[in-house]
Amino acid sequence: MNTPSLLLDGLPVPFSVGQTIMEAATAAGIFIPHLCHHPDFKPQGSCKLCTVKANGRYVSACTMPAKDGMEVENNSPDLNDKRRTLLQMLFVEGNHFCPSCEKSGDCLLQALAYELEMLTAHFPQFYPDRPVDASHPEVLLDFNRCILCELCVRASRDVDGKNVFALSGRGIGKHLIVNAESGRLADTGFALADKAAHVCPVGVILAKRRGFLQPIGCRRYDRQPIAMQPARPLASGGNGPES
Amino acid sequence: MNPPVGQRKLRLATTSLAGCFGCHMSLLDIDERLFDLLDRVDLDRSPLTDIKHCGPCDIGLIEGGICNAENIHVLREFRRQCKVLIALGACAINGGLPAQRNHLDLGQCLQEVYLTGPGIVGGRIPDDPELPLPLNQVHPIHEIVRIDYFIPGCPPSGDAIWKFLTDLLDGRTPRLGHPLLHFD
């Protein structure tokens, strides 16, 4: 039997049955923008950045199973315009002051904005006001940068077995919380060695006393645009002890 | 770099609102290309000239966000006079680091700086009408007037400013790619 394959922007991409469009594209070295997708975790399709057009319909590449002969549009002006708008919405919803953020140069949200040539966040700023949690001896939380990708929620629950994080509230009031009666990270079993400490794609979960270690020019996305880089290394964040 | 024969030189105005002048320093960082730039444009109102008010201009470069009443007057003057208005740098684009004061109470900020802060004796909050009143929050300039182009960076590099301006002057759609496009 022939290997099934789909057509991604006109290129045949083989896949094995059960793979999503995202998995097939990643295996073939083709970049599909994404934020909440991480190869180590079950996809959830919340950021919508990986929206592609499959057989004429908008679908999330991270959740849509690949089908033989499927025609997928990925890198098109139409899709990239929509993705840029999604990024602009994320940028105004939070306080993304990159010039003082320790994650700058290593941040997936920022790298995608560069990739899609986002010059401004366009919409009026929300300027959320959520206090930082500096209670933990090793880790700082800045909730004003959270994009609700739930990678930390998934990592803490499914990998670490600690269930430290959760999302709470509804609509624009939805926000990341710490599962402790006090709401403080110090009052959980959270540790720097946890998987959840290293999956945040933006600058919410930061190891203390490690900021600005990488010289400008040497940070992950200084070297090469995100689309030119190999798929994100497993189980590491720019800010972790192993990097 | 000389303008085509018969074409008048363009007029360029610049200003710093709630800025740090870093974007202007970055503009000067185009170094000897400043001579090329001045072959093509004349400077109108700018911290680099002595012109007090902006006359009719082709391009206005605005650094800094909006933090007080005078910023708004200056920004509106630039919008009235400039055909193309460019937000230069992170502050003009999203308020920048000064907007980190947006979750603080302005009254308390002023009290701490002028009355209760360490080392202050007999201080008072400045109240002369000569002084512009601060706004309760810092805003990006596109929330006050329409902006035509945005050059991100804190500051944008001299090369990024040069690429953007020369694209514009030559009639191309200005574009910044890796590594000229950055937010930090």
Say yes or no to pLDDT of A243 above 70: no
Q: Say if residue A161 is in the same domain as residue A193.
A: yes
In chain B, residues with a C-beta closer than 8 Å to the C-beta of A105 are 184
Are the beta carbons of B137 and A120 separated by less than 8 Å? no
Q: Say if residue A149 is in the same domain as residue A48.
A: no
Asked whether the whole model's pTM tops 0.90, one would answer yes
Query: Can you tell me which residue has the tokens 């093509």?
Result: B40
Q: Say if residue A67 is in the same domain as residue A111.
A: no
Q: pLDDT at position A195, please?
A: 97
CA dist., res. A123 & res. A93, Å (int)? 9
Please state the domain count of chain A.
2
- Residues B97-107 have pLDDT tens digits of 999 999 999 99
Q: Say if residue A46 is in the same domain as residue A104.
A: no
In chain A, residues with a C-beta closer than 8 Å to the C-beta of B136 are none
What contacts B91, CB < 8 A, 6 or more positions away?
A: B17, B18, B19, B20, B63, B64, B65, B97, B98, B99, B154
Characterize A69-95 residue by residue with b for buried, 16 or more Cβ atoms within 10 angstroms of its Cβ, and e for exposed: ebebbbeeeebeebbbebbbebbbbbb
Q: Say if residue A107 is in the same domain as residue A216.
A: yes
Q: pLDDT at position A230, please?
A: 81
Q: Say if residue A113 is in the same domain as residue A201.
A: yes
Q: pLDDT at position A240, please?
A: 37
In the three-class reduction of DSSP (H, G, I as helix; E, B as strand; rest coil), residue A7 is classed as strand
Q: Where are the beta strands (DSSP E) in chain A?
A: 5-8, 11-14, 51-54, 57-60, 71-73, 139-141, 165-168, 175-178, 205-207
CA dist., res. B183 & res. A216, Å (int)? 13
Whether residue A10 is contained in a domain is answered as yes
CATH code assigned at A171? 3.30.70.20
Say yes or no to pLDDT of A2 above 90: no
Query: Can you tell me which residue has the tokens 């953007």?
Result: B164
Are the beta carbons of A120 and B175 separated by less than 8 Å? no
From the centroid of its chain, how far is CA B151?
11
Q: Say if residue A142 is in the same domain as residue A33.
A: no
Residues of chain B with pLDDT below 70 are: 1-6
**Nearest chain A CA: its distance from B181 CA (Å):** 6
Say yes or no to pLDDT of A241 above 60: no
Crossing angle of helices B158-169 and B33-40, in 10° steps, is: 30
Last residue of a domain, one of A38, A60, A75: A75
Structural domain that includes position A49: 5-75
Whether residue A37 is contained in a domain is answered as yes
Whether residue A80 is contained in a domain is answered as no
Whether residue A43 is contained in a domain is answered as yes
Q: Say if residue A185 is in the same domain as residue A116.
A: yes
Domain boundaries, chain B: 10-101+134-179
- CATH topology assigned to domain B10-101+134-179: Rossmann fold (3.40.50)
CATH code assigned at A62? 3.10.20.740
**Nearest chain A CA: its distance from B146 CA (Å):** 11
